[in-house]
Amino acid sequence: MRDFERRNQHFDRLVNSQGLRWLGQNTNHMPAHPAVRDALVKSIDDEEYHVYAPPAGLEELRALILADLGLDAVTTIVTDGAIAALYHTVHSLLDPGDELVTTDPTWAWPMAFAQSVGASVVQIPIYGDEHGFRLAPQRLAQHVTEKTKIVYLVDPNNPLGCCCTPEEIEQIATIARDAGAYLIHDCTYRDFAYEHTLAARFYPERTITIWSFSKWLGFAGLRIGSLTAEPGLVEQLAKAPPNNLGSNIVAQRGAIAGLKVKAEWFPDVLATTRDNQAMIVETVADIEGLRVPVTPSNGNFLIVECVDAGVAPEAVCAALAKHNVMVRQGAYHTKTFGDRFIKISTTTPRQWVDELCEFLPGAIDEARNSSGDFDLF
Ligand SMILES: Cc1ncc(COP(=O)(O)O)c(C=O)c1O
């Protein structure tokens, strides 16, 4: 069977698994605010989906996105999720022979997008105590060359949960500017950070701020994100975007409602996310060989290092899967460090995390004694 078929069948099995505990994809499983649900239902009841949405997104949504980001002198277009914004930006700005610089670990898909246009990828290792599990700006400076066309910064970092300080962001922006490179600031998880600084504040000319509605609002299946940059750059990117016929109009109505109730609704979601993380940290502390190296996490997930327990992350995932709990193997994010950790996402009902914590010690024991091939993606 072809790889894409195997991968698809894997995710098809997951979405059709009754009662699966989704603790692996940083998706948000908290109940929607009634106003968001109502907006989605109203759009469907009104049968609005017969029309194409405006190519750059509903004006009300665009204005709300800009207000939320709080950036001046930029504009925004709505995309089919952050991933489509990343795909389009990388494809539009890179030529064969160019270089994209990012961290290791990072979110891997933009690297595949860069390679698919003949560009090369440079990864700066940030995993490990020697790096403090974060990117020191001077290490970025060391890796930038005249070929560097894009710096791809996932901040907060998925999977690590580290987040750049305002000083670091300013330095990273300066390094990108000095190199004449675009800075893609992937802020998919910014709402979960203790403090988050947008690089566009320091480098408005060539920073592309990419944001998602999948994580904070829980719209992963609805596919909505945004791309925000200086108007000339957006004009260039808006010439031939893949969603030129507009993004999902039902999702956009829900996103508008979501932004309007965000201040009221999201703090509880964040509190639950952080309580869930604390519960996992406590449980992990009692299991020999495990540790949570980055805590508190600035994302809605954390990594649990299991290399010292002598277990393969895939074996832990497989053992938890038997209890209908999905967590992610590190190899999804990084070839170099993927054998060291699993990632657990935490914007979920408390009960799911209680169950995870109950099953985790047994899953580690089972993983110690297991050998085998795991078909995980
Ligand atoms: C860093 C990062 N960027 C982008 C995405 C994709 O977001 P979206 O669902 O909006 O396409 C993800 C999804 O996990 C992510 O982790």
* Centroid of ligand 1 to alpha carbon of 322 (angstroms): 27
3-class SS letters over 320-347: HHCCCEECEEHHHCCCCCCCCEEEEECC
pLDDT tens digits for 222-261? 999 999 999 999 999 999 999 999 999 999 999 999 999 9
Domain closes at, from 260, 280, 311: 260
Tell me: do 196 and 230 sit in the same domain.
yes
**Biggest distance spanned by C-alpha atoms of the chain:** 58
pLDDT at 313: 97
- The residues, any chain, with a CB within 8 Å of residue 16's CB and separated by 6 or more, are none
Ligand 1 atom at minimal distance to the Cα of residue 224: 10
The pLDDT assigned to 15 comes to 96
pLDDT for res 369: 86
Kindly state the percentage of the chain with pLDDT values over 90: 97
331 shares a domain with 307: yes
357 with 237, same domain: the answer is: no
The answer on 255 and 165 residing in a single domain is yes
Counting ligand 1 atoms within 8 A of each CB, the residue from 215, 224, 247, 346 with the most, and so the one to mutate, is 215
pLDDT of residue 192: 98
Work out the average pLDDT over 86-104. Answer: 98
Dump pLDDT digits (tens) for 178-232: 999 999 999 999 999 999 999 999 999 999 999 999 999 999 999 999 999 999 9
The per-residue pLDDT for 254 is 98
Mean pLDDT, residues 337-346: 98
Same domain for 204 and 322, yes or no, is no
Query: What residue numbers bound the domain in which 279 lies?
Result: 3-31+262-368
Residue 376 counted as domain residue: no
Verify that 10 and 153 share a domain, yes or no: no
Q: What is the pLDDT of residues 290-316, one digit of tens each?
A: 999 999 999 999 999 999 999 999 999
289 and 326 in a single domain? The answer is: yes
Q: Which two tokens stand for residue 195?
A: 């403090």
Give a yes or no: residue 292 inside a domain: yes
Q: Give residue 376's pLDDT.
A: 81
What is the total count of domains within the chain? 2
375 within some domain? no
- 295 lies in some domain: yes
Interval between CA 289 and ligand 1 midpoint (Å): 30
- Looking from the CA of residue 25, the nearest atom of ligand 1 is 14
Give residue 291's pLDDT. Answer: 98
Q: Which of 86, 214, 252 to mutate to test the pocket of ligand 1 (most atoms within 8 A of CB)?
A: 214
Question: pLDDT tens digits, residue range 165-178?
Answer: 999 999 999 999 99
CA distance 224 to 78: 7
- The CATH number linked to 59 is 3.40.640.10
Distance 110 CA to ligand 1 centre (A): 10
- Ligand 1 site residues (CB inside 6 A) read 26, 81-83, 107, 154, 158, 186, 188, 212, 214, 220, 225
Ligand 1 center from residue 246 Cα (angstroms)? 19
By DSSP bridging, strand 341-345 and strand 301-305 are antiparallel
Ligand 1 centre to CA of 176 (Å) is 22
372 falls in which pLDDT band (50, 70, 90)?
confident
Domain boundary among 229, 260, 291: 260
**377 in a structural domain:** no
Ligand 1 centre to CA of 112 (Å) is 14
Is there a single domain that holds both residue 186 and residue 326? no
Mean pLDDT to the nearest integer, 122-131: 98
Closest ligand 1 atom to 220 CA: 9
373: pLDDT confidence band, cut at 50, 70 and 90?
confident
For position 169, what pLDDT does the model report?
98
pLDDT tens by residue, 263-280: 999 999 999 999 999 999
Centre of ligand 1 to C-alpha 308, Å, is 30
Atom of ligand 1 nearest to the CA of 85: 11
Question: What's the CA-to-centroid distance between 83 and ligand 1, angstroms?
Answer: 6
Tell which one of 103, 111, 212, 217 to mutate to probe ligand 1, the residue whose CB is within 8 A of the most ligand atoms.
212
pLDDT of residue 307: 96
Does residue 247 fall inside a structural domain?
A: yes
pTM metric for this prediction: 0.97
Mean pLDDT of the chain: 97
Residue 87 CA to residue 122 CA, distance in Å, equals: 18
Both 111 and 69 in one domain: the answer is yes
Q: How far apart are CA 256 and CA 234, in angstroms?
A: 21
One domain, residues 107 and 17: no
Question: Is 371's pLDDT higher than 80?
Answer: no
108: phi > 0 → left, psi -120 to 50 → alpha, else beta; which? alpha
- Classify residue 373: in a domain, yes or no: no
Q: Are 82 and 162 contained in the same domain?
A: yes
Type of residue at 97: G
- Would you tell me how many other CB atoms lie within 10 Å of the CB of residue 11? 11
Asked whether residue 358 carries a pLDDT value surpassing 80, the answer given is yes
Domain boundary among 210, 229, 260: 260
pLDDT at 314: 96
